[in-house]
Amino acid sequence: MDSPESKHNRNISRSSRPRSSTKGPLDDPNDPLRPEGISQPENTTHAGGYTGASFTELDPLAPDDLPQTLGKDLSFLLRYDVYHSLSQVDIPHTLRSEFIGLTSEESLSSCLGTLERLLTEGHFLLAAYLSGTILTSSLISSTDIKMIFSLFYTRLACLELSGNTIIAAQESKALEDLSSTFYYVDQVPGASDTENEQKHPNHPRHIVPWPLRVLAVRLQSIGFGDSRRGIGGLYEIGIEARREIMRPNLSSVERNIWKERLSDLGIRTVNALIEMGDLSAARRSLHSLETSGPCETTKLRKALLFLLIGDIDAAKEIFGGSDETGNGIFNPLLSMAEGRYDEAVTEWQSLLENVPKGPDTAIVSQNMALCLLYTGRLNEARQILESLVHGGQSFGGLIFNLSTVYELCSDKSGPLKAGLVDLVAKEPATGHTNLDRPNADFKL
């Protein structure tokens, strides 16, 4: 059997196609990533101050410098056959936006600025397309490790956010075995730096950013059709996170980051077990997870998972009788889980009146509307959901629920849904939700 190192080297050797020094491969009219019928804009120069600097800040604990002297060639992530063609055929026509391609005159910084703008606006499908075109262009060197991983992570994450998880899962397989020695370096580059040596003594360091590693574990388990692979992958990187926490030379900031990562992996493992249908193992894992400390988000995530598997008593024990903010959100959720929708309406309403408006206000309002729906107050539920859309606060779940209400209200829900599409198309771009919404969101 080939070693992981030789496996990657073999992939690299297959991609040794000469690149043009004057024109990028995306200028070819036969570009396989360009959807049919989509023309390329003449100028994609970015505006608004987007510099693309965020693509170098994906992992705060990554080695400060990964020079070409590492000898890591990532040509296997720059091949055309890795990336699937993307289409907007499943997106309502009103919501479609033109795919942005590249021209031979553009620089890498200009392309990254454009990509950063698309992400800020919430055009995740367009951002996924542009990430793929940059990766397969002559703008990227096969030894530019940090940029390649950052763009590859952007591609996979945007595919998942735009509802193309299956495509993302297939493309994630190009990474192959992330635990292979190929992805480790024996020491942090720049060993001549005395301060760096003291902070990071010689030990194996993974060159893939942590967010990409975590995302790839889930996507590869889907791509290879092996859910147990995902569980094993989470445990494997969890062991690495625990080992990093135990290092005596870590700063307090770094140690806290690793602790947060380890806690997050515990929640993700339980979620993976639930997706597998192994609720008994999920329950045991949840009971073993520690939620001590000030991290209220972790407590709420754990409580929600207990509700999901039906262990209501365990969910109650997490918050108990405390007056924490999370408890205010948890109480109406608990009422819903127990089928007490009238009480949940009152609790959601109280939460909206007593808590200052924030990013969760739209979700709280939607939950109240659903409780109204379950209690037969259909018109009130419709008014709340429509008011959120008119206020520019729509998101995927809200749109789907409002479309369901339209189906319950009328035998001719088609025009109502079409009007909903037009309303959503007029909303300002905020970057908080996906603008490239598929027909499935509107139940079309």
pLDDT for residue 43: 38
Check residues 241 and 9 and name the one with the higher pLDDT.
241
Kindly tell me the number of DSSP H helices and DSSP E strands found in the chain: 18, 2
Least confident window among 10-14, 34-38, 221-225: 10-14
Q: How far apart are CA 405 and CA 420, in angstroms?
A: 12
Q: How far apart are CA 386 and CA 380, in angstroms?
A: 10
At 65, is the pLDDT very low, low, confident or very high (cuts 50, 70, 90)?
Answer: low
- As a CATH number, domain 339-444 is 1.25.40
Asked if residue 181 has pLDDT above 50, the reply is: yes
For the packed helices 361-374 and 378-390, what is the interaxial angle rounded to 10 degrees?
160
pLDDT for residue 228: 87
Asked if residue 167 has pLDDT above 60, the reply is: yes
**Domain locations in the chain as residue ranges:** 1-225, 339-444
CA 379 to chain centre: 35
pLDDT for residue 368: 95
pLDDT for residue 59: 83
pLDDT for residue 419: 92
Whether the Cβ atoms of residue 399 and residue 407 lie closer than 8 Å to each other: no
pLDDT digits (tens, 9 = 90+) for 363-393: 999 999 999 999 999 999 999 999 999 988 8
Enter the pTM of the model: 0.81
Single-letter amino acid, residue 275: E
Other C-beta atoms within 10 Å of 239: how many? 12
